[in-house]
C-alpha cells in the first residue's frame, strides 16, 4: 500500500540530497573542526558554509548570528534562560497560552522558582490581543517569547510587530519559529527580533540539530559552558554531519519557498475544501486567512481523534491529532482549549501537514478516505444517529452521575 505522509509539522523526511551532503562527515571528513590540522580545517570550512546557508534562509545580517544547538527545545531554553541570567533584576516573562511545551513547561518551572509568567490569551481563531500585550510590557520583563506559527493550527502571531513594541519598551524578544523556518520568508535583518529558535527536522534535515539566532549585540549567557565552540556561546564539539545537513536543507528550503507558498498552499486548500464539502459538522480551526501554507487542522464533531488516526493509518494515511488519548493525558490539546473549541469537537481535531513532496494524487486519495472514516466512527458514537448529531448530546446521553 502507498503511504501518504501528512504529518510534516511533527517531523519531515530527510531529503536524499541532504543525506548525500552529510554522509562524508561520518567517514573521511571526521575531523574535529577545532583542530589545527587539515582534517579539522576541512570540517571547519564546511561548518562555515552551513552557517551562511542558514543565514540566508533566516535573512539574517551576519552569519555569526547563527548558533548551532542540539534541537529546537535547546534553543528555546537557551534563549529564555539567557535573558533571565543576563538581567537578574527582571523577573517577568511574557508568553502565550498556545506555545509549544518547549516554552510552556520551562515557564511553568520558572514560575515555581518565583518568576512571574504572563500568558497572553487567544480568541476563537487563535489570535492575540495586542492591547493586552502592550499593557504588560515594562522594565520588569526580561523577555517576551511568542511563537511565529502555531504547530497545531499553523496560525501566525504578528511577531515582527510585537518585536517592535518590545524593542521600544526596552524588552528582549524571542520567537519560537520552529514551524515557520523553511516555510515562509523571515527577513530577520529588517526586524527587531533578538532571538529565534529553529529545528532541523522540520525542514528535511535530520533530528537533533537546531539553531538559535542571536542578534549581534544582544546580551547573552550560554546554557552550556565549556569549550569555545560557537564562539563560546554553545560549548560541545559540533555535530558536524548534522550541521552540514541543515545547511543543505536550508538552501533547498529557500529554493522551494515559492513552491511552498503556491503549490503546497493550493493542495492544502483543496484538501480542506474537499473534505468539508462531504463531511458535515466539521470545521477548520485557527485563523484560515493567516497561517502556514502547509497546515490544515480540521475538527470533526462527535468523534475522537485517536480513533480517526487509527483508521486513517489503516488506509496508509499519516496525520496527527490534538485529542487527549493520543498523548496519554486526560485533556485535549491546550491549543484547542485555549481557542475555546466546543467540547463536542475538541477531542476530534486532526492535523494534516503537507510538504513539498505532497502530490495531488495523495490529496485526492485523502479527500476520498476521510469522509468514510468519519462516517464509520460516527456510526459507533452515542452522540450520533442516522441523520446527524442527537438533538441535545448532553441530555440524550445521560450518565447517572455527572
Partner 1 sequence: MWDYSDKVKEHFFSPRNAGALEGANGVGDVGSISCGDALRLMLKVDPESEVIQDASFQTFGCGSAIASSSALTEIIKGKTLDEALKVSNQDIADYLDGLPPEKMHCSVMGREALQAAVANYRGEVWSDDHEEGALVCKCFAVDAVLIEDTIRANKLTTVEEVTNYTKAGGSCAACHEGIEEILIKVLAETGVAFDPTATPAAVEVAPAQMNTLQRIRRIEQVIQAVRPQLQRDHGDIELVDVDGKTVYVNMIGACSGCQMESLTLNGIQQKLMEELGEFIRVVPTRAGSLTRAMGN
Residue 400 found at the interface with partner 1 (CB under 8 A): yes
Q: Half-sphere exposure of residue 326, counting CA atoms within 13 Å on the CB side?
A: 20
- Residue 107 catalytic? no
Are 83 and 172 spatial neighbours (Cβ–Cβ below 8 Å)? yes
Q: Phi-psi category of 154—alpha, beta or left, where left has phi over 0 and alpha has psi -120 to 50? A: left
Choosing from 48, 231, 259, 379, the residue that interacts with partner 1 (CB under 8 A) is 379
Choosing from 41, 138, 237, 313, the residue that interacts with partner 1 (CB under 8 A) is 313
Residue 282 found at the interface with partner 1 (CB under 8 A): no
Residue 329 found at the interface with partner 1 (CB under 8 A): yes
Pick from ligand PLP, partner 1, none: which does 147 bind, CB < 5 to 8 A by kind?
ligand PLP
Q: Half-sphere exposure of residue 320, counting CA atoms within 13 Å on the CB side?
A: 16
First CA to last CA distance, the chain: 45
Choosing from 10, 40, 325, 365, the residue that interacts with partner 1 (CB under 8 A) is 325
Pick from partner 1, ligand PLP, none: which does 151 bind, CB < 5 to 8 A by kind?
ligand PLP
DSSP string, 340-362: T--HHHHTTEEEEE--TT--HHH
Catalytic residue among 325, 337, 383, 390: 325
Are 63 and 199 spatial neighbours (Cβ–Cβ below 8 Å)? no
Residue 382 found at the interface with partner 1 (CB under 8 A): yes
Are 106 and 75 spatial neighbours (Cβ–Cβ below 8 Å)? no
By CB under 6 A, the residues from 111 to 170 that bind ligand PLP are 147, 151
Residue 14 found at the interface with partner 1 (CB under 8 A): no
Could you count the other beta carbons within 10 Å of the beta carbon of residue 11? Answer: 15
* Residue 89 or 386 having the CB closest to partner 1: 386
Residue 357 found at the interface with partner 1 (CB under 8 A): no
Residue 212 found at the interface with ligand PLP (CB under 6 A): no
Q: Please choose, from the candidates 146, 143, 222, 216, the residue with its C-alpha nearest in 3D space to the C-alpha of residue 179.
A: 146
Pick from partner 1, ligand PLP, none: which does 304 bind, CB < 5 to 8 A by kind?
partner 1
Site size toward partner 1, by CB under 8 A: 37
Residue 326 found at the interface with ligand PLP (CB under 6 A): no
**Alpha helices, DSSP H, located in 198-354:** 240-255, 257-259, 265-278, 305-314, 324-327, 334-338, 343-346
Binding residues for ligand PLP, per CB under 6 A? 71-73, 100, 102, 147, 151, 176, 178-179, 199, 210
Binding residues for partner 1, per CB under 8 A? 302-307, 309-311, 313-314, 323-326, 328-332, 343-344, 346-347, 379-383, 393-394, 397-402
Catalytic residues: 325
Amino acid at each position: 500500500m502507498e503511504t501518504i505522509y501528512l504529518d510534516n509539522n511533527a517531523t519531515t523526511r530527510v531529503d536524499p540530497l541532504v543525506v548525500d551532503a552529510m554522509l562524508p562527515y561520518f567517514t573521511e571528513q571526521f575531523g574535529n573542526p577545532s583542530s589545527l590540522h587539515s582534517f579539522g580545517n576541512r570540517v571547519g570550512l564546511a561548518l562555515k558554509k552551513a552557517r551562511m546557508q542558514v543565514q540566508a534562509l533566516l535573512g539574517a545580517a551576519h552569519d555569526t548570528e547563527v548558533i548551532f544547538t542540539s534541537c529546537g527545545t535547546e534553543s528555546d531554553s537557551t534563549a529564555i534562560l539567557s535573558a533571565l541570567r543576563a538581567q537578574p533584576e527582571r523577573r517577568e516573562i511574557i508568553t502565550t497560552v498556545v506555545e509549544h511545551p518547549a516554552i510552556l513547561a520551562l515557564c511553568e518551572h520558572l514560575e515555581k522558582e518565583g518568576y512571574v509568567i504572563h500568558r497572553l490569551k487567544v480568541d476563537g481563531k487563535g489570535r492575540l490581543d495586542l492591547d493586552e500585550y502592550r499593557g504588560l510590557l515594562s522594565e520588569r520583563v526580561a523577555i517576551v517569547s511568542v511563537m511565529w506559527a502555531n504547530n497545531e493550527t499553523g496560525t501566525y502571531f504578528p511577531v515582527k510587530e510585537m518585536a517592535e513594541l518590545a524593542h521600544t519598551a526596552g524588552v528582549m524578544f524571542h520567537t519560537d519559529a520552529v514551524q515557520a523556518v523553511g516555510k515562509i520568508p523571515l527577513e530577520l535583518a529588517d526586524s527587531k527580533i533578538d532571538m529565534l529558535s529553529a529545528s532541523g527536522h522540520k525542514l528535511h534535515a535530520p533530528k537533533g540539530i537546531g539553531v538559535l539566532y542571536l542578534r549581534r549585540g544582544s546580551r547573552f549567557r550560554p546554557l552550556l559552558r565549556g569549550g569555545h565552540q560557537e564562539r563560546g556561546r554553545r560549548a560541545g564539539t559540533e555535530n558536524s554531519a548534522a550541521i552540514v545537513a541543515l545547511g543543505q536543507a536550508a538552501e533547498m528550503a529557500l529554493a522551494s519557498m515559492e513552491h511552498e507558498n503556491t503549490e503546497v498552499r493550493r493542495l492544502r486548500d483543496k484538501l480542506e475544501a474537499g473534505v468539508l464539502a462531504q463531511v458535515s459538522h466539521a470545521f477548520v480551526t485557527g485563523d484560515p486567512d493567516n497561517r502556514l501554507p502547509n497546515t490544515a487542522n480540521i475538527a470533526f464533531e462527535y468523534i475522537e481523534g485517536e480513533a480517526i488516526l487509527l483508521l486513517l493509518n489503516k488506509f496508509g494515511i499519516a496525520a496527527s491529532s490534538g485529542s487527549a488519548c493520543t498523548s496519554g493525558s486526560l485533556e485535549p490539546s491546550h491549543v484547542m482549549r485555549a481557542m475555546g473549541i466546543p467540547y463536542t469537537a475538541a477531542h476530534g481535531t486532526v492535523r494534516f501537514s503537507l510538504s513539498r513532496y505532497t502530490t495531488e494524487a495523495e490529496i485526492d486519495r485523502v479527500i476520498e478516505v476521510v469522509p468514510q472514516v468519519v462516517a464509520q466512527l460516527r456510526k459507533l458514537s452515542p452522540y450520533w444517529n442516522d441523520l446527524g448529531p442527537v438533538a441535545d448530546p448532553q441530555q440524550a446521553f445521560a450518565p447517572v452521575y455527572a
